[in-house]
Amino acid sequence: MNCADACVHPYPEGDSSLRRLAEEAAGLGYDCIVCTGQVDPAVATRIPVICGAVVAGRTFQDVLGRIRRDTGQAHLIMACAGDVKLNRALLSYRGIHILRGVHTVHSKAFDHICAKNAAESETAVNISLFPIVHGRGPIRQNALRCYSDVLRLHRRYGFPVTVSSDAHSILDLRSARVVPRLCSLFGMEPEEAEEALGAPGRLLNPRRSVEVVP
């Protein structure tokens, strides 16, 4: 699992079945994908599929409640970014694997304290390529600016980074060879992009101890 798309959204969240997304991703050079929703073990796929769950809430307690109720069979827990107070708490909690959506919140919502917490808990910060590929004008520019800031903090503190297409159909997927070029738009080096593509597999076998939600 050294090259993974860190989040895709199969039907019913998206327009393409899990089987089709996995087949297309394999053809684009991926070794595995992380998907949202339930994974039917009876569905055969060309490459391994990691079941992920996306949780969101206004407060840390809201998020913990959703982890208890909604994560089911998920192997990777992905929390949506919020304000700086929430992000600091999420990134201190070892029961969350990935923080998503940093490009959608205030520019000050991911600061050096968040970065330190992420490094200590080995929680990854996700780079979604969706706003770069499909966004226009301010949306795209804000995402590039945000990812540049995340990259700067990543280089300083060493927290993990993942990269996702956030594909809702096979048309949204991007070749693994293209990902480093897209990431270069905000300053990421090819070897850094390769490391980010391999991060989901490493998150499944962390050095950290996992906190259990009471």
Q: What residue numbers bound the domain in which 13 lies?
A: 4-202
Under the banding of pLDDT at 50, 70 and 90, the label for residue 204 is: confident
Q: Which amino acid type is present at position 174?
A: R
Is 46 a member of any domain?
A: yes
pLDDT of residue 207: 55
Is 213 a member of any domain?
A: no
Is 39 a member of any domain?
A: yes
Residue 100 to residue 162: CA distance in whole angstroms: 9
**Per-residue pLDDT tens for 61-94?**
999 999 999 888 899 999 999 999 999 999 999 9
Is 165 a member of any domain?
A: yes
Is 210 a member of any domain?
A: no
Question: Sheet of 76-80: strands edge to edge?
Answer: 4-8, 32-36, 49-55, 76-80, 98-100, 124-128, 161-164
pLDDT of residue 206: 65
Is 209 a member of any domain?
A: no
Contacts of 66 (CB under 8 A, 6+ apart): 55, 56, 57
The CATH number that applies at residue 17 is: 3.20.20.140
Q: How many domains does the chain have?
A: 1
Helices 137-157 & 112-121, crossing angle to 10 degrees?
60
Under the banding of pLDDT at 50, 70 and 90, the label for residue 214 is: very low
Q: What is the mean pLDDT of the chain?
A: 93
Residues above pLDDT 70, as percent of the chain: 94
Is 212 a member of any domain?
A: no
pTM for this model (two decimals) = 0.92
Residue 186 to residue 16: CA distance in whole angstroms: 29
95 exposed, middle or buried (CB, 10 Å; 0-12, 13-18, 19+)? Answer: middle
Side-chain-side CA neighbours of residue 129 (13 Å): 28
Is 33 a member of any domain?
A: yes
Mean pLDDT of 19-31: 96
